Amino acid sequence: MLTTWVTAGGNLIAMRPDPKLAGLLGITYASGTITNGYMKVAPTAPVGTGLVNNTRLQFHGTADKFRLAAGSGAVNLGYLYSAAASTDSFPGVTLRPVGTAGGQAAAFAYGLSRSVVLTRQGNPAWAGQDRDGNAPVRSDDLFYGNSVNDPKPDWNDFSLIQIPQADEQQRLLRKMIAHMALDRKPLPSFWYLPRKLKAVVVMTGDDHAHNGTDPRFRQYMALSPVNCSVEKWECIRGTSYVFYDTPLADVDAASFNAKGFEVALHVNTGCATATQPLMEEALSKQLPEFKKNFPSLPAPTTNRNHCIAWANYASPAVDQRKYGIRLDTNYYYWPEKFVQDRPGLFTGSGMPMRFAHSDGTKIDVYQAATQLTDEANIDYTKHITTLLDNALGAKGFYAVITANMHTDQGASVGSDAIVQAAIARKVPVITAKQLLDWLDVRNKARFSAIQWKGGVMSFQIADVSSTVPGLQAMVPSTVNGLTISTIKRNGGATPIAFSTMVVKGVSYAFFAGLNGSYEIQYK
Ligand SMILES: [Zn+2]
């Protein structure tokens, strides 16, 4: 069936395929596998250009060793290695043109989706272990190699800590899909963040019933531009995760909420491992107490646990979802002996994405890893400027950077440094709730009826909510030698505005992603 599909002009991308597909894919199986090895993107245009392509990146899980079949026409888009400095090399990602109808068959030697989840969420074999010697079980234990009783390499290689390895490999897949579809039609997509933002700071702080929340939020108001728009992310805003009995009056909390700040519960398991019964107990008892003390506030939809208590692989995320919490900041770049003042993205990603169980089942809670904390003895300015400049500059390591600068006190050296660096680079500082609202807008929006005919691309955009404005649609600036000329919406006589930006080696035209029908002329 798959061979018939591809021969007739269809495209196939197989992840760690069944050997029965070898003929179609143009590969022959060598014996053996590589587990938790490395892959390097080939710098071949157009797919490999613009990505991190001169460095071995990690994959997690198991890859099959195979070779390109002689005479099959298959090419390497990526290479596989057993280790960071090994001399072996196998095809890691392959692409083969099939037949005369434009069909193409591609293969990843490893399961990309599985590898992405494992890179972001840590090693399932370490689930439930206290590896860093700091009880309770926390998210960093899933990444921390140097356990006293079980010394192993760190799960994600620190020599690559600034590279969003999982994101770059997803971008490889995204570029393959676009490239393989191009003989039929170019594909539109949505940009990660509102407008053409390449980075955003999610400012949060935990408040253990000390109410530094009030003075901190007032400081953010003072730092915000006059007449700033909260919905356009122009105001400096932050989240405070509070113990439910923090001495903040409901009327003041309501006033902050109305101004776009977020006051949510700092769920407290008593600093014990957040096993299902303990997490459930904390949520079921503390959320009603929070509601009693803050009747004017909306129910919390984002969270960080006290002591960043975690358990198992992803069970705290499941427990949170049951209680309406849909964004989690518990993944935490900590402690000092792990971080060693090295700025980076310890989950191999700068992007929030939904959690998955270890079997791959999706959980409707976003993981927004906290990359900056005020309890790992870091040089705040070095960390924030490194992460922001990596996102804004030529590297294109686009990132949502989450910070925990405790709101126990109003003053915070770390918060000051982060906000200052963000303002200097015109990077918004928002709440976790603002991020969640945005993710919902972007992920509900969709394209349909995509067509390409006679140099004209057309499609519909639907389900764009106005909760957070600024959704950007993007289409390639050039298609098969033709250059974009005009974009019209809903049959209007006047073309709409667009601007171009190069993303991972490809020039795109960006324009407002509003509901409607679009017709794009290429000449
Ligand atoms: Zn706490």
Rounded CA separation 26/390 (Å)? 38
Distance 323 CA to ligand 1 centre (A): 19
Q: How far apart are CA 98 and CA 236, in angstroms?
A: 53
Tell me, what's the pLDDT at 469?
A: 97
Percent of the chain exceeding pLDDT 70 equals 100
What are 411's two structure tokens? 């003053």
Closest CA to 428 of 391, 396, 476: 391
Report the candidate in 149, 249, 217, 183 with the shortest Cα–Cα distance to residue 10. Answer: 183
At what angle are helices 276-293 and 315-322 packed, to 10 degrees? 40
Task: Give the pair of three-digit tokens for residue 61.
Answer: 């899980």
CA dist 372 → 117, 159, 177, 238 (Å): 21, 19, 34, 14
Q: What is the DSSP string of 142-204?
A: GT--B-SSSB---SS-GGGTTS-HHHHHHHHHHHHHHHHHTTT----EE-SSSTT-SEEEEEE
Q: How far, in Å, from the CA of 210 to the mean position of ligand 1?
A: 11
For residues 431 and 260, the answer to whether their CB atoms sit within 8 Å is yes
| Nearest C-alpha neighbor of 310 from the set 343, 338, 334 | 334
Complete DSSP assignment for 345-373: -TTS-SS-EEEE-TTS-EEEEEE--EEEE
Surrounding ion ligand 1 within 5 Å at CB are: 206, 306
Residue 167 CA, ligand 1 centroid: distance in Å: 30
Give the model's pLDDT for residue 95.
98
Whole-structure pTM value: 0.97
Q: What is the pLDDT of residue 358?
A: 87
- CB-based burial label for 321 (10 Å; 0-12, 13-18, 19+): middle
Distance 383 CA to ligand 1 centre (A): 22
Helix orientation angle between 380-392 and 413-424, rounded to the nearest 10 degrees: 30
Q: How far apart are CA 469 and CA 194, in angstroms?
A: 7
What was the pLDDT predicted at 54? 86
Taking the C-alpha atoms of residue 374 and residue 393, their distance in angstroms, rounded to an integer, is 26
| Amino acid sitting at position 19 | P
**Segment 394-411 mean pLDDT:** 98
Is pLDDT at 96 greater than 90 in this prediction?
A: yes
As a whole number of angstroms, the distance between CA 283 and CA 291 comes to: 12
Give the Å distance between the CA of 310 and the centre of ligand 1: 13
How does strand 429-430 pair with strand 506-512? unpaired
Round to whole Å and give the CA distance between 413 and 347: 25
Residues 6+ apart with CB under 8 A from 68: 26, 27, 28, 74, 75, 76, 91, 94
Amino acid 318: pLDDT: 97
- 501 bridge partner residues: 508
Helices and strands per DSSP (H, E), number in the chain: 12, 27
Span from the CA of 312 to the centroid of ligand 1 (angstroms) = 20
432 Cα: distance to centroid of ligand 1 (angstroms): 16
Which tens digit of pLDDT belongs to each residue from 176-203?
A: 999 999 999 999 999 999 999 999 999 9
pLDDT digits (tens, 9 = 90+) for 314-371: 999 999 999 999 999 999 999 999 999 999 999 999 999 999 998 899 999 999 999 9
- Between CA 329 and CA 334, with CA 331 as vertex, the angle to 5 degrees is 120
pLDDT-based confidence at 69, cuts 50/70/90?
A: very high
Expressed in angstroms and rounded, the spacing between residue 241 Cα and the centre of ligand 1 is 8
Ligand 1: distance of its center to the CA of 437 in Å?
Answer: 24
Q: How far is the CA of 258 from the centre of ligand 1 (A)?
A: 25
Q: Which residues contact 146 (CB under 8 A, 6 or more apart)?
A: 152, 154, 337
**Spacing, Cα 284 to ligand 1 middle (Å):** 18
Distance 306 CA to ligand 1 centre (A): 3
For residue 422, what is the DSSP state? Answer: H
Task: For residue 315, give the DSSP letter.
Answer: H
Calculate mean pLDDT across residues 85-111. 97
CB atoms within 10 A of CB 85: 7
Instruction: Tell me, in angstroms, the distance from the centre of ligand 1 to residue 219's CA.
Output: 22
CB atoms inside a 10 Å sphere around CB 295: 10
Average model confidence (pLDDT) across the chain: 97
- Calculate helix-pair angle for 213-223, 413-424, nearest 10 degrees: 20
- Which pair of structure tokens corresponds to residue 422? 């963000």
Residue 36 has pLDDT above 90, yes or no: yes
Reported as a single tens digit per residue, the pLDDT across 102-158 is 999 999 999 999 999 999 999 999 999 999 999 999 999 999 999 999 999 999 999
Q: Distance between CA atoms of 283 and 268, rounded to whole angstroms?
A: 8
CA of 498 to the centre of ligand 1 (A): 45
Cα-to-centroid distance, 208 and ligand 1 (Å): 6
β-pair partners for 353: 367
Give me ligand 1 centre to Cα 289, in Å.
Answer: 17
- Expressed in angstroms and rounded, the spacing between residue 411 Cα and the centre of ligand 1 is 17
Q: Fill in the DSSP letter of residue 110.
A: B
Cα first-last separation, the chain: 38
**Does position 402 have pLDDT exceeding 90, yes or no?**
yes
Element (H, E) at 35: strand 27-35
Q: Which two structure tokens, joined as six digits, stand for 406?
A: 């405790």
Kindly give the distance from the C-alpha atom of residue 354 to the centroid of ligand 1, in angstroms, as a whole number.
23
Please check whether residue 420 is in contact with residue 388, taking contact to mean a CB–CB distance below 8 angstroms. no
Please, are residues 478 and 487 in contact by the beta-carbon 8 Å criterion?
no
If you measure from the C-alpha of residue 212 to the centroid of ligand 1, how many angstroms do you get, rounded to a whole number? 13
3-state secondary structure of 134: coil
Cis peptide before 335 (omega within 30 of 0): yes
Separation of CA 264 and ligand 1 centre (Å): 13
C-alpha 237 to ligand 1 mean position (Å): 20
Average pLDDT over residues 438-443: 98
**Which tokens sit at 194?**
């509102």
Q: Rounded to the nearest 5°, which phi and psi values hold at 482?
A: -95, 145
Confidence at 45, pLDDT banded by 50, 70, 90: confident
